[in-house]
Amino acid sequence: DGGITQSPKYLFRKEGQNVTLSCEQNLNHDAMYWYRQDPGQGLRLIYYSQIVNDFQKGDIAEGYSVSREKKESFPLTVTSAQKNPTAFYLCASSLAANTGELFFGEGSRLTVL
Amino acid sequence: DAKTTQPNSMESNEEEPVHLPCNHSTISGTDYIHWYRQLPSQGPEYVIHGLTSNVNNRMASLAIAEDRKSSTLILHRATLRDAAVYYCILRSPLSSGSARQLTFGSGTQLTVLP
């Protein structure tokens, strides 16, 4: 089945540690996105990528990093510089940036202890 | 960037129609109106989208005002499984090689009463 897969679903980390969240899609989509969601809030854009080997900062990129070495993969690293990393992280993809339907993964819930 | 405004919450009785409003007074001519919904602890799922004309699919209908400054998502017969947060967002094709950034507001929390 075509879709978008995020892993892990739940992740715990200690303060000061970097952690990488995986996002893979087999929809042959060019554009991929990372969002952060805090309790009771909407989704805020962290980074997005329109095409392989290209990505741009979203509204809240500080403390995060991404790479887009393959079309199907867009991993997000939450670095120790991110002051409040505990959140629900959502990855999405679309055929092209800002056009077409967005397909979301099931999310990764990160808790910093 | 064009933004959307939605009520924080709405209630509906099961098996009755639900009309979820969205205001987007600064919409541009190339902005498509998209609706998504999110169940607790899940990623949002696409519901419907449109540009100018009203749209129907198996999940819902989208009514777009003639001036495009507002739209309404219509669930014809609400079920308990329709209880979710509904987001109205605008998506526009690439402009001058740079994509518009895409932010979801807080959406409307729909409660369906049995």
CA B30-B34-B36 angle, 5° bins: 165
Query: Minimal Cα distance from B87: which residue of A?
Result: A42
Contact A101 B99 (CB under 8 A): no
User: What distance in Å separates residue B78's CA from the closest CA in chain A?
Assistant: 23
Count Cβ atoms below 10 Å from residue B82 Cβ, excluding itself. Answer: 19
Distance CA(B43)–CA(B37), nearest Å, equals 9
Q: Please state the φ and ψ torsions of residue B90, each to the nearest 5 degrees.
A: -115, 135
What are the tokens at A105? 């993964």
Give yes or no for A105 touching B (CB within 8 A): yes
Q: In this prediction, what percent of chain B has a pLDDT beyond 90?
A: 72
Nearest-CA residue of chain B relative to A91? B43
Contact indicator for B47, B36 with CB cutoff of 8 Å: yes
Closest CA to B42 of B90, B91, B81, B92: B81
- Lowest mean pLDDT of A28-37, A87-96, B98-107, name the range: B98-107
A–B interface: beta-carbon pairs under 8 A: 69
Rounded CA separation A37/A91 (Å): 11
Give per-residue pLDDT as tens, A57-67: 988 999 999 99
Which tokens sit at B67?
Answer: 């001036």
Out of A9-23, B41-55, B83-97, pick the least confident. Answer: B83-97
Identify the band that residue B101 occupies on the pLDDT scale cut at 50, 70 and 90: low
What whole-number distance in Å separates Cα of residue A22 and Cα of residue A71? Answer: 13
What is the rounded distance in angstroms from the CA atom of residue B72 to the CA atom of residue A7? Answer: 35
Q: What is the pLDDT of residue B104?
A: 82
pLDDT for B25 equals 92
Q: What is the pLDDT of residue B3?
A: 83
The residues, ordered by sequence, that sit 6+ positions from B7 with a Cβ below 8 Å of its Cβ are: B21, B108
